[in-house]
């Protein structure tokens, strides 16, 4: 029995028409290009919005060792940056939003140099001699027991504290700060950030 002509795919004009094939190809290309452009615009706008979102202003900064009280410091400091240059650890910086020297302890704490070169470099005397490490008063370390992993055996901050202000209470497996010894250098903060996912120690600035 002869097959009907409608059973032969070659008899469908659209399938064999080269003009239709080109039109279909162009149509699909335009659609694909449109989708690509929409995705590009979406990503571009998302990046632009991200760039335009202002960074949160940090308030956890410390003044360098020997800093005058905040009002007097702001009246005396010229923002010359000599203390920044003198610091051998790069702990002191002058952020654009402050224009005066600060220390971010979680990034680079004060390592309490024996001769305090930052103080010696300050000609306006916004930083005054402190004598010994015990005379430094940048702030006080505060431990969040909720975030602290001392209960899991971590006591890295204890070993790194340069003044022996941090101790481990093994009976309760908690970290305690001796306020009489703490000078607020922030070494404990930096240490905690280095070994833990969440920072459990902050320094309450003396300012």
Looking at residue 35, its pLDDT comes to 72
106-123 confidence digits (pLDDT tens)? 999 999 999 999 999 999
Give yes or no: residues 30 and 124 share one domain: no
CATH of the domain at 172: 3.30.70.20
Residue in 123, 73, 76 with CA at minimum distance from that of residue 102 = 73
Stretch 57-62: mean pLDDT: 90
Average pLDDT of the residues in 138-165 = 96
Q: Determine the Cα–Cα distance for residues 80 and 101; give it in Å rounded to an integer.
A: 9
pLDDT, the chain, mean:
87
Return the number of other C-beta atoms located less than 10 Å from residue 150's C-beta.
21
- Looking at the structure of the chain, the number of domains it has is 2
Measure the CA–CA gap between 66 and 64, rounded to whole angstroms: 6
Domain of 36, in residue numbers: 9-52
pTM score:
0.72
Query: Is there a domain that residue 177 lies in?
Result: yes
Q: How far apart are CA 86 and CA 53, in angstroms?
A: 34
State the pairing for strand pair 102-103/174-177.
Answer: unpaired
Same domain, 81 and 147: yes
């Amino acid at each position: 029995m002869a097959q009907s002509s409608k059973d032969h795919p070659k008899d469908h004009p659209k399938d064999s028409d080269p003009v239709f094939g080109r039109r279909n190809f162009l149509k699909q290309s335009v659609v694909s290009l449109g989708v690509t452009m929409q995705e590009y615009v979406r990503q571009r706008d998302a990046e632009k919005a991200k760039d335009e979102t202002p960074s949160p202003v940090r308030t956890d900064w410390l003044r360098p060792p020997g800093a005058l009280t905040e009002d007097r410091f702001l009246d005396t400091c010229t923002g010359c940056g000599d203390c920044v240059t003198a610091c051998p650890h790069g702990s002191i910086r002058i952020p654009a939003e402050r224009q005066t020297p600060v220390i971010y302890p979680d990034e680079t704490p004060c390592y309490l140099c024996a001769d305090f070169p930052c103080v010696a470099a300050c000609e306006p005397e916004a930083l005054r001699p402190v004598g010994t490490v015990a005379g430094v008063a940048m702030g006080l370390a505060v431990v969040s027991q909720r975030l602290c992993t001392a209960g899991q055996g971590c006591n890295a901050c204890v070993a790194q504290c340069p003044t022996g202000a941090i101790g481990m209470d093994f009976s309760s497996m908690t970290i305690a700060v001796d306020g009489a010894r703490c000078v607020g250098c922030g070494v404990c903060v930096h240490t905690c950030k280095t070994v833990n996912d969440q920072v459990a120690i902050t320094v309450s600035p003396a300012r």
